[in-house]
Structure 1
């Protein structure tokens, strides 16, 4: 069973702040929070479920901030969110019913594969600067968003990279607006996944809410940074996170 001391709580809070900032401006923050939860003594399935509490609160904070800055493309929200929601239900169902001894290697293996793909093909993360495409005019993006939902519902860690590949690389959004829509998708399928995990009694609420407070704080400051930063700066942060996620996955 997990142990939650004052030191562990502070460490979890700080991991949440860092993850909330990273996830909002790039992705890969769950590479910090999942190990932090596992270090408390949680099995992989419990840590995976509890992590979604922080992601949910972080998504709400980030989405509110981007909307206030007029960086959220509200007209495309439904067509972008629906494929990810369907995928998330599939992925979360798999995660909820797989035993922990099966989930742990799958979890770490998924992280590794995702990180390697992003390092080997960084061009998938760079918007071309062309006019934004609609989902209906670029049907390949539906499959990409669905697969991102499956992955996010199953693992969460690194899903931001897949969403940015679809939104920035596929639909040609700039990185700020792509991040806003990424947060929308993340929040939507996290809500689905969290509901399934709660139904299966896999969420530990005290560490989850500590993590949520940290994630929300990090997301708040991240939105302010993302709106004011240049595309080049955001691109380098994104590339750096891909490299760090890759390294963390190998060390895992």
Structure 2
């Protein structure tokens, strides 16, 4: 779904979209993101890709601003999810530390890289990433 939406996207230039973050767009976003937060808190797989489809189309955000919003939202609900799993003693802390270091390193590099590039490069990278993940999940 995500890849199809990106490839068949009628929006060619995300930077020229008017941002729609008030009124009905705000309320629809809150409704959608509430359920994305529930899904992300339990499963988290592919949640960022879903957000990167919703934010440009619904709210008119550029891919760069959508990514910033995505990272913030994921950070907020991850804190809640980690607290729940920690309270239930369901966290493997050595593996969690490795995952945290990998995520933080990747986020640091990608954030610096994406700010220097335009939406076309980010969109191409997104297509490659979603395709690779789909192939891995389908065949491996």
Same fold (TM over 0.5): yes
Sort the TM-score into its range (normalised by shorter chain).
0.7 to 0.9
- Contact 2:29/2:58, CA 8 A, preserved across alignment: yes
TM-score by length of 2: 0.86
Q: Which whole-Å CA distance do the structure 2 matches of 1:125 and 1:158 have between them?
A: 22
Q: Which whole-Å CA distance do the structure 1 matches of 2:85 and 2:21 have between them?
A: 33
Cα gap change, 1:190 to 1:166, in 2 (>3 Å): same
Cα gap change, 1:236 to 1:125, in 2 (>3 Å): farther
3-state SS of paired residue (1:157):
coil
Q: Which has the higher contact order (CA 8 A, sep 6+)?
A: 1
Please give the root-mean-square deviation of Cα atoms over the aligned residues, in Å: 2.0
String of CA shifts for 1:85-125, please: whole Å, max 9, x gaps. xxxxxxxxxxxxxxxxxxxxxxxxxxxxxxxx212332569
3-state SS of paired residue (1:187):
helix
Question: 2:20 matched to 1:133?
Answer: yes
- Contact 2:15/2:119, CA 8 A, preserved across alignment: no
Instruction: Tell me which residue corresponds to 2:133.
Output: 245
Q: Which runs of 5+ in 1 are unaligned?
A: 1-116
Q: Which runs of 5+ in 2 are unaligned?
A: none
Aligned residue pair count: 136
- Contact 1:167/1:178, CA 8 A, preserved across alignment: yes
Aligned-residue offset at 1:206: 1.1
Q: Which whole-Å CA distance do the structure 1 matches of 2:62 and 2:109 have between them?
A: 20
3-state SS of paired residue (2:23):
coil
TM-score by length of 1: 0.50
